Chains A and B, each alone.
Chain A
Amino acid sequence: AQSVTQPDIHITVSEGASLELRCNYSYGATPYLFWYVQSPGQGLQLLLKYFSGDTLVQGIKGFEAEFKRSQSSFNLRKPSVHWSDAAEYFCAVGAQGFQKLVFGTGTRLLVSP
């Protein structure tokens, strides 16, 4: 069965500092991997996705993620965090042609001044 683990429930980062959010997945075949962000009371916004090819993918808002098959990881990074990045971040795994996403439990990012 597919599963996604986000080990950090909360992370606090100073504004301007770098950020890395961890995501580990379990999936038997080639996974389709996603990062979404959710602001309070809002839906999910797609940050980036990985299907195949270059293992370092660029997304919106200056985010990037690296797929590491050997570690079953898809960590999200940003070199310099802005106060507006404070939100909840979800990692998800899916499969080609299969519209069911399995989500991690999310990481809440707090940005301190």
Chain B
Amino acid sequence: KAGVTQTPRYLIKTRGQQVTLSCSPISGHRSVSWYQQTPGQGLQFLFEYFSETQRNKGNFPGRFSGRQFSNSRSEMNVSTLELGDSALYLCASSGGQTTDTQYFGPGTRLTVL
């Protein structure tokens, strides 16, 4: 099976802009979670989607949002970018025979200038 894919892999934006990141889960997985990884804060949970519904949410401002489509693909959006949003954004999927195990994609490296 193909793994979790994320596009784009690298992104450069300026402050105030918005950005959309995409994640395609492993075939058959219905849960998609998003994490932010920074040197200062480490790995932090953003939110999780299951069957097009947000099921869990981390402690991030409302500028961070997401959605999931009927084919389980997910997008996350960050509006009004700040310098501190520069991070590696990781997507993980779970489901099938391994509902409690998350498999991660390669991440999208976002740089905000």
Contact = CB atoms under 8 A, between A and B. Distances in A.
B43 A90 contact: yes
B71 to A, nearest CB: 19
Interface string B99-111: 1111111110100
B96 interface: no
Contact of A51 (B42, B100, B103): B100
B104 A99 contact: no
A40 B58 CA distance: 25
Contact of B102 (A42, A97, A99, A105): A99
How extensive is the interface on chain A, given as a class?
A: 20 to 34
A43 B48 contact: no
Interface in A96-113: 96-106
Nearest to A104: B42
B22 interface: no
Interface in A71-104: 90, 92, 94, 96-104
A63 interface: no
B79 to A, nearest CB: 23
B106 A99 contact: no
A98 B42 contact: no
Contact of A100 (B6, B33, B42, B104): B33
A43 B103 CA distance: 9
Given A42-B107, A100-B58, 16 more contacts: A32-B100, A42-B106, A43-B90, A43-B104, A43-B105, A43-B106, A44-B90, A44-B104, A46-B103, A46-B104, A51-B100, A92-B43, A97-B100, A98-B56, A99-B33, A103-B43
10 contacts: A34-B102, A36-B104, A42-B106, A46-B101, A46-B103, A96-B100, A100-B45, A100-B48, A101-B35, A103-B42
Interface of B: 4, 6, 31, 33, 35, 42-43, 45, 48, 50, 55-56, 58, 90, 92, 94, 99-107, 109
